[in-house]
Amino acid sequence: MAEPAADGSYSIRAVDRVCDLLDLAADSPAGLSLSDAAQGASIPKSTAFRYLAALEARQYLERDPSTSTYRLGLAFRATDPRGRERLLDVAEPIIEALRDECGETTNVGVLDGGFVVHELVAESPQMMRLAARVGDRGFVHSTALGKAICAQLPEDRVVAILRAKGMDPFTAKTITDEGRYLKELEKVRASGFGEDDAENQDGGRCVAAVIPISGLHCGISVSAPIERLPREKVAGIVEALQAAAAQIAEQVEPR
């Protein structure tokens, strides 16, 4: 119920509690504990836990699994604009060279707010091609870039993204089960690349590798119709992808 305050404004108790918890998290750079959250918001621990869990699921908070403390999550974390600009300046000629080498569309994507945003696209010269537009947002569960990037994240953060954004089936092959997706990420870590095998679009295949730089969760990918990117060509494309990703990382953050 909305309660009138002394100045004539209205206070909604549940909204006030959410705002209190977010303020506490913002003022706790080392992480907000459950006890401190309950004390700071003047609510029982059980109530605080339910609020924190709901905020985590919506990515307003994220929990550190090693300390069980909470920090502001993806919904509040602005991507470093200078870091992103530097990444794009370096990556553009490299993905264009990769496009020319393999003859297929190449992309750079960045994790932003729980989606993978296509920041650079070098389109294939082929008449029939798979090509996203710059600014398009992809789901992490159905895209090669999403898998490559999520394989580098803590599991609880991946789960929070999946639960906040959903796991809609875009094709008959889309992974829509959380446990199965987490198993898929184990394969990605072991192999060093993510693959969308007609999971985001019928008849399409995409392979992706993470770009290992600090401050941004990003990756590079090659996408094509399955008939032009059959299984036997994947290993060669992955090798070229990983070399390009390493070249980008070295130029963005020289050692």
- Residue 140's Cβ-side half-sphere holds a number of Cα atoms within 13 Å equal to 32
Sheet holding 218-225, edge to edge: 137-138, 115-122, 105-112, 218-225, 204-211, 194-197
Report yes or no: 55 and 20 within 8 Å, Cβ to Cβ: no
Domain count, the chain: 2
How many distinct helices (H) and strands (E) make up the chain? 8, 10
User: Tokens 């604009």 — which residue?
Assistant: 81
CA distances from 214 to 57, 207, 229, 242 (A): 25, 22, 31, 17
In this structure, the answer to whether residues 174 and 236 fall within a common structural domain is: yes
Task: Categorize the per-residue pLDDT at 172 as very low, low, confident or very high, splitting at 50, 70 and 90.
Answer: very high
Question: How far is residue 41's CA from residue 20's CA, in Å, rounded to a whole number?
Answer: 6
Mean pLDDT of the chain: 88
Q: Are residues 145 and 52 in the same domain?
A: no
CATH number at residue 40: 1.10.10.10
List residues bridging with 137 in a β-sheet. Answer: 117
**87 shares a domain with 178:** yes
- Judgement on whether residues 102 and 206 belong to the same structural domain of the protein: yes
Q: 101-105, 148-152, 185-189, 212-216: which has the minimum mean pLDDT?
A: 212-216
The whole-number pLDDT of residue 9 equals 45
Q: Which of 109-113, 164-168, 244-248 has the highest mean pLDDT?
A: 244-248
CATH of the domain at 159: 3.30.450.40
Whether residue 181 sits in one domain with residue 58: no
Domain that holds residue 178: 81-252
Structure tokens at 164: 């906040």
Last residue of a domain, one of 76, 100, 127: 76
Tens digit of pLDDT for each residue in 191-250?
999 999 999 999 999 999 999 988 789 999 999 999 999 999 999 999 999 999 999 999
5 pLDDT more than 70: no
pLDDT at 3 (0 to 100): 46
Structure-token pair, residue 172: 């008959």
- DSSP states of 58-127 as a string? TTSEEEETTTTEEEE-GGG----HHHHHHHHHHHHHHHHHHHHHHSSEEEEEEEETTEEEEEEEE--SSS
The encoded tokens of residue 128 equal 């029939």
3-state DSSP call for residue 5? coil
pLDDT for the residue 31 = 85
Residue where one domain finishes, among candidates 76, 100, 118 = 76
Question: 45, 76, 107: which is the final residue of a domain?
Answer: 76
Assess whether 53 and 152 both reside in one domain. no
Kind and range of the H or E run holding 237: helix 231-252
pLDDT of residue 79: 54
- Residue 112 and residue 167 in one domain: yes
Chain centre distance of CA 81? 17
Rounded distance between C-alpha atoms, residue 56 and residue 247, angstroms: 35
Q: How confident is the model at residue 7 (pLDDT cuts 50, 70, 90)?
A: very low
pLDDT reported for residue 81: 64
Compute the average pLDDT of residues 73-90.
74
pLDDT tens column, 128-141: 777 788 889 999 99
Tokens of 77: 């974390």
- Both 35 and 144 in one domain: the answer is no
Same domain, residue pair 99 and 187: yes
pLDDT at 116 over 60: yes
Residues 38 and 141 in one domain: no
